[in-house]
Amino acid sequence: MFLIKQKNYLFLTFCYFSFGFLIGNLFGTFLVFLRNQFLWDGIVLLIILILFEILNFLIANTRFISQFFKKILKSVQIGILLGFFIDAFKVGS
């Protein structure tokens, strides 16, 4: 029974990681539209940085969120950051 739950947990973690990776890759596509809304790209980066810091604070300091939900949020966050990293290589080449 534990093995089935463990496989299901790993599958869900991978799915949420992939979802975050997709969001991170799509960010580069929609950055063109965000540049028209804001005067400076630094504002977009500042907003993203603030959102990630708030998310980290909520994950670390909230007792009411279950461990499973915290791990889901971390998986999505890591996927988004990896998507940003890969997208930066696409822009640089």
> How far does Cα 79 stand from its chain's mean position?
5
Q: Tell me, yes or no, whether 37 lies in a domain.
A: yes
Whether the pLDDT of residue 93 is over 50: the answer is yes
pTM, two decimal places: 0.78
pLDDT tens track for 16-40: 999 999 988 888 788 777 777 777 7
Count of structural domains, the chain = 1
pLDDT tens track for 27-73: 878 877 777 777 777 777 888 889 989 888 888 887 777 888 888 88
Please give the residue range of the domain that contains residue 79.
2-87
Q: Tell me, yes or no, whether 27 lies in a domain.
A: yes
Q: Tell me, yes or no, whether 12 lies in a domain.
A: yes
Whether the pLDDT of residue 1 is over 50: the answer is no
Helix, strand, coil shares, percent, the chain, to 5: 90, 0, 10
Q: How far apart are CA 8 and CA 14, in angstroms?
A: 10
